[in-house]
Amino acid sequence: MTTTRRAAVLGSPIAHSLSPQLHNAGYRALGLEGWSYDRFEIDEAALPGFLAQLGPEWAGLSLTMPLKRAVIPLLDEITDTAASVEAVNTVVLRPDGRRVGDNTDIPGLVAALHERGVEKTESAAILGAGATASSALAALARICTGEVTVYVRSERRADEMRQWGERLGVQVRPADWADAVRAFEAPLVISTTPAGGTDALAEQLPAHVGTLFDVLYEPWPTPLAAAWEARGGQVLSGLDLLVHQAVFQFRQFTGDPRSPLTAMREAAVRRG
């Protein structure tokens, strides 16, 4: 008799999430029978009630906005990685009933860069200063040996990024968004802006560029990513981040040390 095990992604809105396709592809690829992964439209108000009714068949949850911080008071424990950015995107539901929060975006970003040969960088630049930028800083704390320049639109955002840098042990230099074209002098650029945020910069690339990690994946390619590739630079997309962070979640939920990376990537590319 096959034991039923469940996992799901929660958030609002959630219909666009590719996580069910990725995790279910992983189960099939590794022959994990009885496992299923769903999606649920859950906001902050509904989250406590949803967690309270979960049965012993539940192994884990993936969280997207707006739940990454709202879930923290509802957990028994969070990892140092999650605490470093005050954001949880993974909840492991232990057999003893404990809820443990983690953040797989940070190691996922690092793993995606390692896969493309970026293991260390002497400097880096971040475009934007939202929630994803703090995770980018935390990832850079692991691979950047020098200064990280963060291009922001306000002094308030500059102060926030300075504080994140101090907390994460990263040397951060805030810079005005008006000078964002200077970001492209760095060997590694991480763009964390919403869709359209860097479109005006796409026509201002220098002749030689390094590596761009654009965390968007829909629509793709962004004008910046397309221009970057035309210059011969290396480009990573939000799908690279999505797949790698999902692998870390998959291993935590299932306890299976094998990697379903290839199956997950294929599911992400075909969107199903």
One-letter amino acid identity for 52?
A
pLDDT at site 73:
98
Strand 124-127 to strand 171-176: parallel, antiparallel, or no bridges (unpaired)? unpaired
Q: Copy the structure tokens of residue 159.
A: 């102060």
One-letter amino acid identity for 67?
L
Active site residue 68: yes
What are the tens digits of pLDDT across the range 15-33?
999 999 999 999 999 999 9
What are the tens digits of pLDDT across the range 222-246?
999 999 999 999 999 999 999 999 9
67 Cβ contact partners less than 8 Å away, ≥ 6 residues apart: 10, 11, 42, 43, 44, 47
Report residue 2's pLDDT band, with 50, 70 and 90 as the boundaries.
low
pTM of full prediction above 0.85:
yes
pLDDT at site 3:
75
pLDDT at site 130:
84
Neighbours of 244 (CB within 10 A): 25
The pLDDT mean for the chain works out to 96
- Strand partners of residue 7: 37, 60
What are the tens digits of pLDDT across the range 168-207?
999 999 999 999 999 999 999 999 999 999 999 999 999 9
Closest CA to 51 of 86, 8, 106, 12: 8
On whether the CB atoms of residues 40 and 10 are closer than 8 A, the answer is yes
Mean pLDDT of 116-138: 95
One-letter amino acid identity for 74?
L
SS3 61: strand
Ramachandran region, residue 221 (left: φ > 0; alpha: ψ -120 to 50; beta: rest): beta
Active-site position among 68, 99, 157, 265:
68
